[in-house]
Structure 1
């Protein structure tokens, strides 16, 4: 019973932080690792976001090499796996390049029927993370404007493939259609960028 209560407190606190970050694009918040499962430490943050947002009413798709993560999420949340183009949540690990254009964008009658992409990167920062290449993937600087951003906000993502940014921008051109993004790094930093946000970018 105590473990259940602690898990509820964890998901409530994590949800509050995710909503704060989503309302303020570019703001970096810190979440705790999900400690209720014996999973590799680096994946506990991704697992914690999944445990917080997913339930039996939604579906998800996993892009990456961590196949066991899909089973963990199913057991924790009772959500269902579906093909990429049908999934409410898309979880991406290991800097994988995937088909952003294939994700759900909603429609003009139901724009909220879009996909949220949860993407694990190496590091997230408000300042440059070294301007080099980590594990063969470039660092990207995003310059964000729009609702929830005072002036502009800058976010550096280490381990996010630049090839995905053009697809991301194209997917979100017809607001309110598009995809929402949640970035999480290997130490629990989280940054959210909703589809209402305009972005410019450059490779570092």
Structure 2
């Protein structure tokens, strides 16, 4: 597995990286973990979630808290171009999360995408195996807003009939990419959408229909 070892920061940068962590790590991560598990079990449900984490500019504070909750030394993280080229962000994650960085998206347990309008093709990430579908990447995507009266009509396991979800912004290619992701089941990726103060999840079993276009 190709894992990038971050460069050792200078003493000054290291001191900065130590700042901005969760004030009550145990309580916050327990609360965030419960919110994520509930959102995965009930796709499309928006879970208001707060954190006092203060990572460097460019990394959404709640994404920093989500990574501190889910990732560890055994779960490589892949960062998109805007994040991996920001030393303050990688230093902060190294100190507060302790996970290595994956050079290739297919080697990542978690992938962080800071620009939801420019989502890479979902099939470049780890898809899992037929016998081990859990060996796949979970995408953590930063968005500006989540709402319950959006254009997406969701169906599938965990949804009684259908539910609606709005994600702003999002790549116009995402819905077609998600259909292809559905078709790879039981392989495929799962998604955690992270707004400034809320999360919503799309497990690979969830289907999307756009009520405006009528597309699947």
Give TM class, smaller chain. 0.7 to 0.9
**Aligned pairs, number:** 188
Contact 2:78 2:108 in 1 (8 A): yes
CA distance in 1, matches of 2:33, 2:141: 17
User: Partner of 2:131 in structure 1?
Assistant: 109
User: Is 1:90 matched up with 2:111?
Assistant: yes
User: Is 1:175 matched up with 2:175?
Assistant: no
User: Partner of 1:137 in structure 2?
Assistant: none
Contact 2:156 2:206 in 1 (8 A): yes
CA distance in 2, matches of 1:161, 1:38: 25
Structure 2: gaps (5+ residues): 1-20
Q: How does 1:124-139 map to 2 (within 5 A)?
A: 124-128=146-150
CA distance in 2, matches of 1:203, 1:163: 15
User: Is 1:24 matched up with 2:34?
Assistant: no
CA distance in 1, matches of 2:133, 2:100: 21
Partner SS for 1:172: helix
TM-superposed deviation, 1:174: 2.6
TM-superposed deviation, 1:171: 2.3
For 2:168, which of 140, 146, 158 is the aligned residue? 158
Contact 1:33 1:41 in 2 (8 A): no
User: Partner of 1:71 in structure 2?
Assistant: 91
User: Partner of 1:53 in structure 2?
Assistant: 70
Structure 1: gaps (5+ residues): 129-140
Contact 2:29 2:65 in 1 (8 A): yes
Q: Which runs of 4+ in 1 moved over 6 A?
A: none
CA distance in 1, matches of 2:70, 2:128: 18
For 1:81, which of 92, 97, 101 is the aligned residue? 101
